[in-house]
A and B are shown apart, each in its own frame.
Chain A
Amino acid sequence: MRKSLMIAGLLSVAAPFSAVAQDKPVLTIYTYDSFVSEWGPGPAVEAAFEADCGCDVQFVGSGDGAALLARLLIEGKDSPADIVLGIDTNLTAEAAASGLFAPHAQALALDLPVAWSDPLFLPYDWGYFAFVYDKTKTATVPADFEALAASDLKIVIEDPRSSTPGLGLLLWVKQAYGERAAEVWSALADNIVTVTPGWSEAYGLFLSGEADAVLSYTTSPAYHLIAESDDSKAAMDFSEGHYLQVEVAGKLAGSDQPELADRFLAFMTTDAFQSVIPETNWMYPAKTPEAGLPEGFGTLVTPSKALIYDAEDARAIRDEALAEWQAALSQ
């Protein structure tokens, strides 16, 4: 008896919403886990789109951008996804090569710091990678990687093999220093406290005082300012420029709801979607909403130069950059 109750309980929590909206068309969106969580943009975006699409939006979250793409590649042509939302430009070449995506056919009126012309992938937000530090604890702030390496500041970074910000940092150093990248990594080695599997662990270590700075985004201080009224965090402004992370969505060629998918991509650059981004994803919206950015975003560091590899170049260079990184930090 007890066991059958337990199974009934399991089933009821396992599939609570599957019976809802049976006759409405379903738009399946694959995304990363933090997008669909209660504290991410997912719930507000879903409500806003469902308000007038006459459809049921179903988000499926898995890990981060790379895990998401891995899942899609495993599923291949018969993936139930209509839209994939949440890979960044360091992964789009791999995604495009799979042949699973269809052109988005949207007008490109975006507010990005770089020109955008990708026919397959449409950006929905972006941010600059940066080292975030505590103003009350660090007085002398380095102005570039070499100054950071020469300082005795301790930093936490993410592993490029298991984390998209980690991969971003790898390409940042590579693009800023080219042939000298390995040298910069060797000089940084004694500043690196440790390398974590993902952003959450790294940021947690920084906040608990294990390091003076952490690889995150220039927008991270906005969270502390807006949600916690704490203005002690800031991002270091590096003169080499800062590497960009542009997060994109794409429509699958095999989608059984192509019109609905097009409608969602069009919706993605409207205010209803874009105004949710700053205070849930803590990134810059791809198209600034009419009402502007939330107060607090104005106080953030704006890098003088935006760095980013072309999708194809990023794919071509990352193995070499990884080998340099591994060799420099393994000594």
Chain B
Amino acid sequence: MAGRAQPVSRTLAVGGAPAALLLLLTLGTLGAVFLRARAMGSLGPADWAAVRFTLWQALLSASLSTLLAVPVARALARRSFPGRGLLIALLGAPFILPVIVAVMGLLAVFGRAGVLNAGLGALGLPAVSIYGLQGVVLAHVFFNLPLATRLLVQAWLDIPAERFRLAASLGMGPSEVARFLERPMLRSALPGIFLAIFLICLTSFAVALTLGGGPRATTVELAIYQAFRFDFDLGRAAMLGLLQVALCLAASVVAIGVAAPSAFGAGLDRRVARWDASSRWLKAQDATILLLTAGFLLLPLAMITLRGLPALPGLPGPVWAASLRSLLVALASATLTLLLALPMALAIARARPAPARTLEALAMLPLATSPLVLGTGLFLLLRPYADPATLALPVTAAANATLALPFALRILLPAARTCEADFGRLADSLDLRGLARLRLLTLPRLTRPLRFAGGLAAALSMGDLGVIALFADPETATLPLQLYRLMAAYRMADAAGAAVLLLGLSFALFWIIDRGGHPNAGS
């Protein structure tokens, strides 16, 4: 062990630099808001009601998203069919949409004037209402089920093919495979996925407000909005921001504590063949699950596309200029995300349990950081040194990278851990370290998750309105901001066209970086 002490501490140091940046952008910005506030804020009963609603809807949304993702990911992992790669890639699309676009797509299907109610009406059945807690949860599942599925498919495919061979040669049926292979894998992967989704839903603002139906659906993020711009009370905004961070850390500690590492050992990267799942009944079951999921996720996207397509060719020039800007920001943000996430993932994989857990919990912080607090804090921090407007795009890229970091880490971490467990000792004994280790061991083993993480980070950045709205001047608008500007100028048809452009570009970027979502790229 003494021989390993040095490389471990060095990896920790390398992983510590991104962690420090992350702390600056999350707790640092919160601190800046606190410092600027003249008095400490206090929280009233309305705030605690907001906390209760926020926790409840986040719990429901995250539970449903992760539970539903299990059968979907299992079906995707054990079946191969034409168009599977495209389906997996398309499943990522809801996650990268700007909120308002996704909400409009959901309403086109589930709204009062949506396809579903038109169908129910034609059959003489009573209409269903999307507005209320059910709508909030539905939208969060729409956003996050794809993410959960994609992460789980990855985890399923990380079970070495040899284990399934062994299971088959021992004559194991589906229930034994579930017990000995799939459940241990889920025990290790699900808590992290649940946590990520729970935290995303914790800072929900526009979804909860638009679909929530009224002030009953007040979230903590809306309370922060109110503090900033109705009460002009920075102290209360900062207190609420701190509360979000506390909730995030508490949830992280629980989730990371529940997760138990699976121990499948190394494999030879053979193609997985699933003899256990060849019965006709299981095939029909998987087909039904996939059809339902694809319908739920793709129908709203199809409606967005149908509505926007006619306006696409005639979109005004500034929208195209903004697209180029958004693409550049997305590429910069994706690069930065990987530069931050890879060292952190390696550090966590190599560190002893206690510092590893701390780093892992810290890496979740951006998810629970209010975008409004982050933007305001950044503004306060940068203002003494430079005009925030001239830094709008670099700042946006950096903020987007920070927000994508937790996802990138979730994607990289399992693979980094497996790589370290399976090949770490061998590499140590060969004295393989530094860049050589990165080139010969780490990068080849992590290609698949790195591409996925990069694609996701780029696409997330494309669709994010985030901090740009606080910084932009007329010359630095990104595509999501132009979309909002079109809406604010009554140009809803053009806005729908811009939404299709945004969807198309985000998806293309994701597809190219992730290389067609090839989950079997290693084989």
Instruction: List chain A positions with a Cβ less than 8 A from chain B.
Output: 3, 6-7, 9-11, 13-18, 33-34, 36-40, 42-43, 58-63, 66-67, 69-71, 73-75, 80, 94, 154, 159-162, 167, 189, 192-197, 199-201, 203-205, 207-211, 220, 223-224, 227, 280, 282, 322, 325-326, 329-330
- Per a CB cutoff under 8 Å, which of A3, A161, A204 touches B100? A204
Task: Tell me, rounded to whole Å, the shortest Cβ–Cβ distance linking A224 to chain B.
Answer: 8
Told that A37-B488, A67-B228, A162-B229 touch, could you supply 16 new A-B pairs with CB distance under 8 A?
A: A3-B335, A10-B397, A34-B485, A39-B491, A60-B389, A60-B473, A70-B229, A71-B470, A74-B36, A74-B376, A162-B225, A195-B213, A200-B100, A200-B484, A208-B492, A210-B111
A-contacting 9-mer, from B270-278, B324-332, B411-419: B324-332
- Is there an interface contact between A75 and B210, defined as CB atoms closer than 8 Å? no
Q: Give min CB distance, A114 to chain B, whole Å.
A: 24
Residue B10 interfacial (CB < 8 Å): no
Decide if A203 touches B487 in the complex (CB within 8 Å).
yes
**CA distance in complex: A78, B216 (Å):** 40
Known A34-B488, A203-B490, A330-B216; judge A14-B394 contact (CB<8 A). yes
- A231 and B96 CA atoms in complex are apart in Å by 37
Which chain A residue lies CB-closest to B33?
A74
Give the A-B contact count at a CB cut-off of 8 A. Answer: 186
A11 to B335, CA, bound (A): 16
Contact of A6 among B232, B328, B470 (CB under 8 A): B328
Task: Indicate if the CB atoms of B489 and A326 lie closer than 8 Å.
Answer: no
Inter-chain contacts of A43 with B (CB < 8 A): 474
Neighbour of B487 across the interface among A16, A192, A204, CB < 8 A: A204
5 shortest interchain CB distances as A-B pairs: A209-B113, A39-B489, A200-B487, A37-B485, A34-B488
**Which residue on chain A has the smallest CB distance to residue B209?**
A197
Q: Are A75 and B383 neighbours in the complex by a CB distance under 8 Å? A: yes
Question: In the assembled complex, which residues on chain B have CB atoms less than 8 Å from the CB atom of A193?
Answer: 112, 131, 213
B475 touches A16 (CB 8 A): yes
Residues of chain B contacted by A3 (CB below 8 angstroms): 335
The closest CB in chain A to the CB of B211 belongs to: A194
A36, B228: Cβ atoms closer than 8 Å: no
A37 to chain B, nearest CB (A): 4
- A39-B491, A74-B380 known; A201-B210 Cβ under 8 A: yes
- Closest chain-B Cβ to A226's Cβ sits at a distance in Å of 10
Consensus secondary structure, chain A interface = helix
**CB-CB contacts below 8 Å: B466-494 with A:** 469-477, 481-482, 484-492
How many Å lie between the Cα of A162 and that of B206 in the bound state? 10
Whether the pair A36, B474 counts as a contact (CB closer than 8 A) is yes
B46 part of interface (Cβ distance < 8 Å): yes
B residues at A contact (CB < 8 Å)? 36, 46, 100, 103-104, 107-108, 111-113, 131, 205-206, 209-216, 222, 225-226, 228-230, 232, 234, 316, 318, 324-325, 328-329, 331-332, 335, 376, 379-380, 383, 387, 389-394, 397, 469-477, 481-482, 484-492, 495
Task: Say yes or no: B232 contacts A42, CB within 8 Å.
Answer: no
Question: What CA separation (Å) do A67 and B114 show in the bound complex?
Answer: 33
User: Contact: A192 with B214, CB < 8 Å?
Assistant: yes
Instruction: Indicate if the CB atoms of A205 and B485 lie closer than 8 Å.
Output: no
In the complex, what residues of A have CB within 8 A of residue B491's CB?
A: 39
Q: Which residue of A lies closest to B237 (CB)?
A: A70
Pairwise interchain contact B485-A38, C-beta atoms closer than 8 A: yes
Known contacts A162-B229, A329-B214; A211/B112 CB under 8 A: yes
Q: 29 A–B contact pairs at CB < 8 A?
A: A9-B328, A13-B393, A14-B392, A14-B394, A17-B475, A33-B484, A37-B474, A38-B318, A40-B488, A42-B474, A61-B472, A62-B469, A63-B470, A66-B229, A70-B232, A160-B230, A162-B222, A189-B214, A194-B213, A195-B215, A197-B209, A199-B488, A200-B487, A203-B490, A204-B492, A280-B489, A326-B46, A329-B216, A330-B215
Roughly how many angstroms separate A194 CA and B389 CA in the complex, as a whole number? 35
Contact A33 B100 (CB under 8 A): no
Majority SS at the chain B contact face: helix
CA distance A21 to B369 in the complex (A): 40
Residue of B46, B112, B492 touching A207 (CB-CB under 8 A)? B492
- If A14-B476, A209-B112 touch, whether A73 touches B230 (CB-CB below 8 Å) is no
Report yes or no: B232 in contact with A159, Cβ–Cβ below 8 A: no
Is there contact, CB below 8 Å, between A66 and B488? no
A64 to B391, CA, bound (A): 21
- Contact partner of B325 (CB less than 8 A), chosen from A13, A40, A210, A322, is A13
Cβ of B112 and Cβ of A196 under 8 Å apart? no
Are B205 and A197 in touch, CB under 8 angstroms?
Answer: yes
Contact: B390 with A15, CB < 8 Å? yes
Q: What residue in chain A is nearest B391 (Cβ atoms)?
A: A14
Residues of B within 8 A of A61 (CB): 472-474
Contact B489 A34 (CB under 8 A): yes
Determine how close the nearest CB of chain B comes to the CB of A256; give it in whole angstroms. 14
Whether the pair B100, A201 counts as a contact (CB closer than 8 A) is: yes
Bound Cα distance from A329 to B216, whole angstroms: 7
| Residue in chain B with minimal CB distance to A154 | B112
Q: Write the nearest CB–CB distance from A195 to chain B, whole angstroms.
A: 5
B209 pairs with A162, CB closer than 8 A? yes
**Complex formed: what's the CA distance from A330 to B495 in Å?**
32
A60 to B472 Cα, complex, angstroms: 8
